[in-house]
Amino acid sequence: MRKREGMSQAHLRLIRKLPSCISGRMPCEAHHLCGGPAAAERGVGMKATDKWVVPLTPDEHRDVHTFGSKMEGQWFMNRGIDDVYELAAALWDVRGSEGAMRTTLGRFLKL
C-alpha cells in the first residue's frame, strides 16, 4: 500500500516531544485536526494527514474530541489559539527540527 503524501512518523514523534499548544504542559499527544483545511484531506474513516497536527496533553486531547470536530476551531480559540490551522501548517513547515518547532510553537502560545 502506498503511503499518503503528508504523512510522517518522524513529525509525529517530534510533535509528542513538544509542550501543549494550549497549556504548555507535557506529556503530549499528536492531535489531528478535523476542520478547516484539514477537512479536505479526510475521507470516510480517515484522519487528516500529519501536516495538520498539533500537540495536546491527553486531557486536552479528550476534551477537544468531546467538544466535537465541527466546533474544533472554536475550542482552540476559547483557549487562546486564534488559528490552530495556521499553527499546524507552521509546525509542518519546520518539520524535522525540534528546535525550530519549539520556536514556532512559542510564537503561538499565550501562557
Q: How far is CA 51 from the centre of its chain?
A: 8
The predicted model gives 73-93 an average pLDDT of 96
pTM attached to this predicted model = 0.89
Per-residue model confidence (pLDDT) at position 43: 61
Residues 6+ apart with CB under 8 A from 102: 18
Per-residue model confidence (pLDDT) at position 1: 45
Residue 43 CB burial class (10 angstroms; 0-12, 13-18, ≥19): exposed
Residue 89 pLDDT grade (very low, low, confident, very high; cuts 50, 70, 90): very high
The domain limits of the chain are: 9-108
Of residues 77 and 47, more confidence is placed in 77
